Structure formats: C-alpha cells, structure tokens
Structure 1
C-alpha cells in the first residue's frame, strides 16, 4: 500500500511538473532578428549566424518580443567569444553585466531574471563593456523562460522588415477609372531610410516616393509585365514585356526583377517631410494593351512633371484595384516607426466625371498575416487617411477594417504640360 501511495505521489508530481512546463515554454529569439542602435555599425546581423563581428560598443544590440501574460522571465544567451569578454544585458528595467567565455562553440550563458507586470512589447538590450579579443560576443539567440513566456510573440524569421500596410479604395460599380489622383504628407521624423510611401497603386503598377539613402530620395513609378515571371526579366517573352513610350527629363528608366518583373522609372528628387505632394495616374486602353502614364507635381516649379509612360500588354482595360501603401524595404532599421498621411483621393472617369474616394479598406501583407510582426495600423484623422508600421507598439487596425475621411467636395485642378 505504501509503495502504491508513493508511486501515486510521484505520478502526481510528474504530471504537475509537466503541466507547468507545458504552460511555460522556453523560447529562443533568433540572433538574426536583432537590430543595432543607433546604426548597424561595428556589428553584423547575419541571416544565418545571428550577431557576429561585434567589435564596437557605441551601439546596443536589441531583441524585441511581445508578452501576453504577466509573470517571471528568465533570460540567457546562446553566445561565444574569441576571448573572455563582458557585456551588459538589460530588459524591463533590470540590468546585469555577464561574462562571455572564450569558446569555439555556442554555450548557454545565464543573464538575469525579471518580473513582467504588464503585457506589452519588451526588448532585451545588449551592450559591450570590455573584451580581451576581437569581438564582444557572437550571439546565436536569446533564450527566454518563465511564466511570462505563455503566448509570447516574436519574429522567428530573418525577414527583419516591418509589415507592409495598405489602403484599398472602393470604386463605384460601372465606373471606368481613366485618371487617379492622390496626395501624400509624411510627418517630420517619420521619413526613415528604406521607406516607400506609395500614393497611386493599381492592378498593374504603383507610383509614390521613397527614402533611398541619407542623401537620395526618389519619385518611383513601375508597371508589371504580363506572364507572371517572379524574378528574372530576361526570361519574360517580348510580347509580355512592358514597353516604355516616354519619360521625363532626368528620369531614369529600366527593367526590373526580383518582385515580379516590369518597367521601372524613377526621378531623384529631394522631397521634404511635412509637405504635401501630389500624384496623378492616367490610363488609356487600346485593344489588348493599356498605356499608363505617371505625373508628379513639383511644388518648387508650380507644374506637373512627366515621370514616365509605359504600354502594358495583355491588359486593355482602365485602372482597377486602386490602393496606397506604406512599405519598409530595408532590413537594418525595420524596428523604427514610420507613418504617412494619404488624402484627397479622386478618380476621373472616361466620361469626364470626377468622383471623390472617401473610404478605404485596410489590409496588410504576409508578414502580418503570419503574426511575425504585429506592430502596424492605420485609420483616419485630421481629414486624411494614415498608415503606420513598426516601432513595436500595439496594432490599432485589423485586416478588413473600413476607414472614412470627410469629403472636400472640390476636385483637383490639373493643368498638364503640353507636348
């Protein structure tokens, strides 16, 4: 009887332990999902090996995650170094300095424990303190355990861009969209590197403005080929290729691949935050082709500029699926918040009727759908639609949400250049 009682007790303890373990999983934030602040310098975030070549201590290496439940959180590193070093580890107001051993293989290095009181986004920050070798540490991952890891969210993939978000504009049934007009205003400080603010998108292309480098910004217009080739344009049959018919002065035009293929054009233009910019698309169907032409209003010159005109094969219809989007196309700063305002959208039909677009349906990309990133949103404020992504703050919109802005009632006045 005593033996049966002992076995029952041990079984109960085992089941209880299993229940606790099942409810408090151990998760590892991959090293390749880290970000370096203020810049990815003197450290590399490698998509295979995580944090490597970390030689400088002027920045921090940061790992972000979202906690759904309050509770305890234990943090350890999967790390190694070429000689013993010291780094600080900080999260939730708790900070510890730990030693990274000289080792050829990654080892588990316990760091700290903290208590998470409020669900939300958190960040494990690493900073170099001292080193005897070349690097502070190579970090393969950050391991989290404890009751706060229940339903934890983090990005498990090396895709470090923020989720792309879109505004889809419903068009009244039976209306042919010959012209599509829209405006963009980017608040000061939201014009981060690697951002595309796209105003006038349609079923075959997109037209907007980008931040390409610290010294270069562009107005971008592209149209996709027919045929569906995903990567290499030289594999696209000639009869499926978009053909450039015209381009504006100083506009650069070429083919593109890598995200579908097509015709690309851009004009290097130093657009400014906090200023309104105007975009205009034109479509002319003819048989089985459609010619798409993009114009950008240059406020300094008080005139519309031709960006480019492309003839798209296997089309033959007016613009459809009208939308705007906000995209982060750089990996290094995919943690920095971005926001853009999109407004005063109008269409003009082939019969000359102006129609104001005051409603927009919110959507997002595969990164959001997979819940790899959950920091994004949009809405309507101050007479504009807006979109935002990144910054590791709670989403304020979900796929399919419908936004509405007040109508202005005044169509745009457009005086295009004569050729």
Structure 2
C-alpha cells in the first residue's frame, strides 16, 4: 500500500528531568527536499534543521503556547524575548499553536551541526527557552529566546526525530537519514551524557522501511526508500556499551 510520506521516526533520550541545558548534534547523511531533522525536541518545543521544498536550508526553533486553544488570548501566547540577526519570527498553527523562528543555515551532508537549548524559570509561571546553533568551528549563534507559561518546568522529555513534510505521494520512496549525539544535559554543576534512547515512529503511517541503531558512538535514524528494519524494533531501547576508563 502506498503512503503519502515517509514515516516519522524518533529517538527518546534517557536524561534526567528538568534540565537547565541540553546539547545535541546532528550529522545528516541523506536528505531530500521537504525534510526536517529535529535535534532537540522537548515537552514545550523543538529545534533542528530543514531542507525546504525549494532546496533552501534553514534552522528552526519553535515553542508551543501553554493553552490547547487553537486561538489563545494574547496573554496566553508565546512571547519572543530575543531574536538574532536575520531570524524570521512568526506564529504557527495546525499541530497546536506557538511561536516559530527560522534562519538560513547552509548545513551540508556529513558535517555536524550542534544545538544547545537553555531553560530558565522566570517567575514560577513563565519559562524562557533559548536556542543556540553552531557549525564547524564557528561560535554559538543565539537564534532566539521565547517564553511560554510552563509553571516552572525546564527541559523534559528530550527527543530527536526525522520527518518528511513534503508528503506528495512520492517522498516515501526517498531515504532520509541522520546521526545524533553526543546528547547530554546539565543541571547546576552536574552533567549527564545520554547512553540510552528509545526508538519510536508515528502510529498513523504503518510502513516498516524505517530503522534506528548505533553508528560508532552516535545514534542514527533512517526512514523511507529501501530502508530495512534490521537493527532495532519499534519501542525498543538502544543502549551504548559501557564507557571504559
């Protein structure tokens, strides 16, 4: 049975709750137009890199409104506290509502892109989430800081995913693949490196041309085309071997 899109695949990282900072890296090995590689997703938003329909490449950072209402009042909406040079600020809908920031980023295949997400409890009601990105030896670029009503919540439920958003009936025949890691979190003076991740996929697309596993010390996700599900079954944990001194 044909499907309009390649199946979305995810890695849910085993990290401590309520982290103040999370860092992760993506290295895309195969991409197509209409691809999104989420590097740091969390309970209140997500950040990553895209290849748009016309081939332009971008970094994106979005934060959800606290309300499930499709048109929340102004005082319930995400507030953009800062946006970097060249960053486009807008709002999004459909899958919840919130604030979205995008900036051109000429990422390349097989070259790592690093993301850092920081969270600060502003007043017990609003939390500020700040996204930073860098490539190669460049400095961290502060893409944006957005505030949402989170009642003291910081960074929880950290994950990465690969998504085909072209959904044109042919894009499921094309492979999208990326490696992620090292992923780690910081809370006060404690740093925790992720050693395990759980592999999942969206339930609305039942195709099995998906895979996940380890490539050296990195986690990887692959979806679409002639991909074979040979490494990890859905909902299974992928564990790195114990580190030795």
TM-score (norm 1): 0.55
Distance 1:340 1:405 in 2: 17
Classify the secondary structure of the residue corresponding to 1:239: helix
Q: What CA deviation, in whole Å up to 9, does each residue of 1:346-377 have, x standing for no partner? A: 1001x221110111011111224xx2x22111
Q: Pick the structure with more helix per residue.
A: 1
| Larger RCO, structures 1/2 (Cα 8 Å, 6+ apart) | 2
Equivalent of residue 222 in structure 2, options 388, 392, 401: 388
- Counterparts of 1:85-96 in structure 2, within 5 Å, are none
- Counterparts of 1:151-166 in structure 2, within 5 Å, are 154-155=1-2, 160-166=4-10
Deviation at 1:314, TM superposition (A): 3.9
Q: What CA deviation, in whole Å up to 9, does each residue of 1:210-258 have, x standing for no partner? A: 10134410001000011113xx5xx212232111000111011111112
Deviation at 1:267, TM superposition (A): 0.6
Distance 2:242 2:94 in 1: 39
Classify the secondary structure of the residue corresponding to 2:179: strand
Does the 8 Å CA contact 2:15/2:184 hold for their aligned counterparts?
no
**Equivalent position of 1:341 in the other structure:** 179
**Equivalent position of 1:176 in the other structure:** 18
Q: What CA deviation, in whole Å up to 9, does each residue of 1:63-119 have, x standing for no partner? A: xxxxxxxxxxxxxxxxxxxxxxxxxxxxxxxxxxxxxxxxxxxxxxxxxxxxxxxxx
TM-score (norm 2): 0.92
Distance 1:406 1:276 in 2: 23
Runs of 4+ residues deviating >6 angstroms: none
Does the 8 Å CA contact 1:381/1:405 hold for their aligned counterparts?
no
Gaps of at least 5 residues in structure 1 are 1-153, 410-419
**Equivalent position of 1:305 in the other structure:** 141
1:363 aligns with 2:200: yes
**Equivalent position of 1:35 in the other structure:** none
Gaps of at least 5 residues in structure 2 are none
Q: What CA deviation, in whole Å up to 9, does each residue of 1:161-217 have, x standing for no partner? A: 111111001224xx5300000001111xx1211111111110000011010134410
RMSD of the TM alignment (CA)?
Answer: 1.9
* Number of aligned residue pairs: 241
**Equivalent position of 2:114 in the other structure:** 278
Distance 2:243 2:94 in 1: 39
Does the 8 Å CA contact 1:364/1:399 hold for their aligned counterparts?
yes
Deviation at 1:343, TM superposition (A): 1.0
Distance 1:361 1:214 in 2: 33
Deviation at 1:382, TM superposition (A): 1.6
Judged with a 3 Å threshold, the aligned counterparts in structure 2 of structure 1 residues 408 and 253 are, in CA distance, closer, same or farther, namely: farther
Distance 1:220 1:248 in 2: 12
Classify the secondary structure of the residue corresponding to 2:233: coil
1:228 aligns with 2:65: no
Rg larger in structure? 1
Distance 1:252 1:408 in 2: 42
Classify the secondary structure of the residue corresponding to 2:75: helix
